[in-house]
Amino acid sequence: MNKAIPYIKFNSLLFLLISLSLLGCRGMKSEKTPIHPNLNMDQQDRKEAQEINNFFDDKRSMRMPVAGTVARGLSRLDKNYYEGVEISGDWVAKIPIDLTKSIIYRGKDRYEIYCTPCHGNAGDGQGIIMTGRYGYVPAPTFHQDRLREAPDGEIYSAIYNGVRSMPSYRHQVPVEDRWAIVAYIRALQASQNAKRDDLIAAGVDVEKLENEFEAEQKMIAEARAKKEANQVEIIATVERGMEISTMYACQTCHSSDGTAIIGPSWKNLYGSEGVVTTEDGEIINVIKEDEYLIESIVNPYAKIVDGYDPLMANAYGALSQNDLQSLVEYIKSLSDN
Ligand code: HEC
Ligand code: HEC
């Protein structure tokens, strides 16, 4: 009996040691610094990003580069590649990198992350912002002659510098991805502007697609007519006009105080006379009343106001008659006469 005691003691001690060592391996984290016999340069005084540093007057630990210096690899002297412009200041005509299939797929990937919320998957400007809930300026479709003919550098610049009411994406999208996106936009443009014969040659059942498209358009038109029939005579109001104008951020481009922003001001617009260029290139005089104003909203490219570029997106065609008339009422309310 007496003899057995040390034996049991030894056994349980061994058991305790094994279980402790196993417990120590269960991925538990410790707050304590690991034992590190040879320090080398692994531990040293340094500052975290954004940490206060009392050594400098401005108390920043993140220092600005010394004036006039450029970090290695950041010289970016190649304006073609980094800014999309030639030394002469003209846009770069063609993407300055060798294109491969994988670059275009990279462009698709990046495009679908950064650009689709506004420009839509097909580049038609029908991104999620077009639900009207976000109060954002509609993005233009890429499938218009002006942007099909624009030099590659100009498309690049939209990403690098932003353009008018579109912010720059240069910090989200590094330079090689910007060119990849430009390449993908070109692919989108080609895809949406393919000739009927080319499609048939590629084995696409064009007639079937056309029938489907027509059926879809018919359904949309019917649904709209039904909706409008059910709208028991809501009267167009200035308030509703203001609401629509805010929902679609018209004010980003149209002021109500007489200043021209991207588009003409709405102040004293109603009833005024002005020069416009029609789609056929004819220069005519118009009186800006209901019919003209509604046409300008539904089909902005029909008549371009003298002195302005065709920068208003063709994106408001789905507004109801009542909403359009309300916009007119609102614009009318900004006229003194
Ligand atoms: C938050 C919405 C939004 C996002 C995201 C966005 N854009 Fe835009 N984009 C716009 C708007 C709005 C305009 C029209 C600006 C104007 O005319 O004031 C525009 C215009 C453009 C134009 C036409 C420039 C011109 O000369 O008319 C190009 C090209 C373009 N965007 C490319 C891109 C690319 C590429 C991306 C993704 C990296 C992108 N956009 C992301 C809103 C957006
Ligand atoms: C990206 C900027 C932009 C946005 C957003 C915009 N427009 Fe425009 N709009 C323009 C430009 C530029 C013109 C002049 C060129 C033209 O005739 O298309 C114009 C012209 C007009 C005209 C004709 C003005 C005239 O002097 O004859 C009307 C009316 C108009 N816009 C209404 C609207 C309404 C309503 C909205 C919002 C639902 C809107 N616009 C959103 C840029 C914009």
17 located within any domain: no
Distance CA 271, CA 291 (A): 11
The answer to whether the predicted template modeling score (pTM) of the entire model surpasses 0.95 is: no
User: Ligand 2 centroid vs 74 CA: distance in angstroms?
Assistant: 41
Q: Are residues 125 and 218 in the same domain?
A: no
User: With a 6 A CB cut-off, is 253 part of the ligand 2 pocket?
Assistant: yes
CATH of residue 173: 1.10.760.10
Do residues 188 and 212 both lie within one domain? no
Give domain status of residue 198, yes or no: no
Secondary structure of the chain as H, E, C letters: CCCHHHHHHHHHHHHHHHHHHHHCCCCCCCCCCCCCCCCCCCCCCCCCCCCECCCCCCCECCCCCCCCCCCCCCCCCCHHHHHCECCCCCECCCCCCCCCHHHHHHHHHHHHHHCHHHHCCCCCCCCHHHHCCCCCCCCCCCCCHHHHHCCHHHHHHHHHCCECCECCCCCCCCHHHHHHHHHHHHHHHHHHCCCHHHHHHCCCCHHHHHHHHHHHHHHHHHHHHHHHHHCCCCCCCHHHHHHHHHHCCHHHCECCCCCECCCCCCCCCCCCEEEEEECCCCEEEEECCHHHHHHHHHCCCCEEECCCCCCCCCCCCCCCHHHHHHHHHHHHHCCCC
- Do 167 and 114 have their domain in common? yes
Mark whether 173 and 262 lie in a shared domain. Answer: no
Separation of alpha carbons 13 and 8, rounded Å: 9
- Which of the listed residues 254, 269, 291 should we mutate to test ligand 2's pocket, taking the one with most ligand atoms within 8 A of CB? 254
Q: Do 173 and 257 share a domain, yes or no?
A: no
For residue 227, give both structure tokens: 């909706």
Residue 185 near ligand 2, beta carbon < 6 Å: no
Shared domain for 225 and 263, answered yes or no, is no
Decide if 54 is inside a domain: no
On whether both 101 and 182 belong to a single domain, the answer is yes
Q: Are residues 182 and 216 in the same domain?
A: no
Backbone angles phi, psi at 166, to 5 degrees: -100, 130
Q: Is 172 found in the same domain as 96?
A: yes
Domain containing residue 219: 204-230
**Is residue 27 one of the residues assigned to a domain?**
no
Same domain, 166 and 253: no
Residues 208 and 135 in one domain: no
159 ligand 1 Cβ < 6 A: yes
Are 270 and 187 found together in one domain? no
Span from the CA of 333 to the centroid of ligand 2 (angstroms): 17
The domain total for the chain is: 3
* Local confidence pLDDT in tens for the 337 residues of the chain: 455 555 667 777 777 777 766 665 566 777 887 787 877 777 777 888 899 999 999 999 999 889 999 888 888 889 999 999 999 999 999 999 999 999 999 999 999 999 999 999 999 998 988 876 777 888 999 999 999 999 999 999 999 999 998 999 999 999 999 999 999 999 999 999 989 999 999 999 999 999 999 999 999 899 888 887 877 777 899 999 999 999 888 999 999 999 999 999 999 999 999 999 999 999 999 999 999 999 999 999 999 999 999 999 888 988 888 999 999 999 999 998 6
For the Cβ of 139 lying below 6 angstroms from any atom of ligand 1, the answer is yes
Q: Is residue 6 part of a domain?
A: no
